[in-house]
Amino acid sequence: MLALTRKVGERIVIDDSIIVTVVDVKGDYVRLALEAPKNIKIYRGEIYDSIVAENQQAATPVDIKAFDKFKDIKKLNHL
């Protein structure tokens, strides 16, 4: 991790295509402006963490035995 000190109006350039500018500082809050190509996805940290957790849960193998309770259900005849 790289930790930098910046003042309001100062920028950080990442990989020639992403620009992070410090817009405002009030107490414990820092307001940032991010400029990046449209193909770069930018998420707030808590949203990104939620997406990762959902993807991990979706990728978890399902226990087929959990479906055994449905084996006795018969097809309904449609009229």
pLDDT band at 79, cuts 50/70/90?
A: low
Strand 18-26 relative to strand 29-35: parallel, antiparallel, unpaired? antiparallel
At 62 the pLDDT is 77
- Amino acid making up residue 36: A
- In terms of Cα–Cα distance, which of 37, 32, 33, 44 is closest to 18? 37
pTM over 0.75: no
Would the pLDDT of 73 be above 90? no
Distance CA 25, CA 19 (A): 18
Q: N- to C-terminal Cα distance for the chain? A: 65
At 76 the pLDDT is 61
